[in-house]
Structure 1
């Protein structure tokens, strides 16, 4: 691996890509072009040889990327080490060595971590959806509803709610309540 300062052209294209995430329609139309520009700049930058090597089908990074994708696509199943090695086309010992070198964990450790992450996100989304439903009925009781769905602090609840729904809980509840009244 290598580290260097990004030049202004690369930073500009990265910032443009990040800004596209604010508007899904623009991202859908312009995103591929900006990503292609970023790839171009990386493949022609100071670490071009390293970038090209990473993209080679038989490089360590490419093998591990395939293994990671294989594990991700099967996060909800028991995986067999032999199946993983067979599917990506390397021996078990070679796969373990490469996987650990890139991720600092075994494929099984990675899968368990991934399962924990998916489970946590799903539980968080369910809690926030439940809170949203309760806020429609009681928009002025934000802190109590946050506690009721399992948050220890109102600021954490508000921050995660805003991240998921795009507005603070109280404001979102009032907006939703007025939308329900208009529809009735």
Structure 2
């Protein structure tokens, strides 16, 4: 269920989905920050920048972001990076090391550790099982 919500909110119509579900101006501003984070997931984005987009103080932004997404901005960015890396790997566009760098990781070993935490298996094994399911 969480993954479905994630894809709905981060998809091309995420803003409209969130507006229908939530509707307040405060939420719309946070969603604008979510979209900025989605667009720049591979970059180092500071919470101060996102808070400015949402027109909130950093502490209020952090609190309201977590209330909306059930995760911190850093956790959200990490999830965006890992899902994009998984997509790149599953499509065969790149290898593990290149995917790690393309989505913003500075260390392939850190990327692999976080990938295992998120998906429960190593990137190579996960991609092999995804490809097997697709076949």
The yes-or-no answer on 1:55 pairing with 2:15 is no
Deviations 1:81-122 (A, max 9, x none): 111111221111111111101111111110011101101110
Describe the SS at the equivalent of 1:85. helix
1:85-104 map, 5 Å: 85-104=51-70
Deviations 1:52-75 (A, max 9, x none): 8x233x23x323311211110111
1:151 and 1:157 in contact (8 A); partners too: no
2:131 corresponds to which residue?
157
- Greater gyration radius: 1
1:132 corresponds to which residue?
none
The two structures have a TM-score, normalised by structure 1, of 0.41
1:109 corresponds to which residue?
75
List runs of 5+ in structure 1 lacking aligned partners: 1-34, 40-49, 128-149, 162-184
The two structures have a TM-score, normalised by structure 2, of 0.54
Q: Distance in 1 between matches of 2:55 and 2:84?
A: 28
Determine which structure has greater relative contact order: mean sequence separation of CA pairs < 8 Å that are 6+ residues apart, divided by chain length: 2
Going from structure 1 to structure 2, the CA distance change for 1:67 and 1:155 (only over 3 Å counts) comes to: closer
**Number of residue-to-residue matches in the alignment:** 90
Q: Over aligned residue pairs, what C-alpha RMSD do you find?
A: 3.3
Q: Distance in 2 between matches of 1:160 and 1:114?
A: 22
List runs of 5+ in structure 2 lacking aligned partners: 1-12, 94-123
Deviations 1:152-179 (A, max 9, x none): 8x98534324xxxxxxxxxxxxxxxxxx
Deviations 1:19-55 (A, max 9, x none): xxxxxxxxxxxxxxxx9xxx9xxxxxxxxxx958x23
Q: Distance in 2 between matches of 1:99 and 1:74?
A: 17
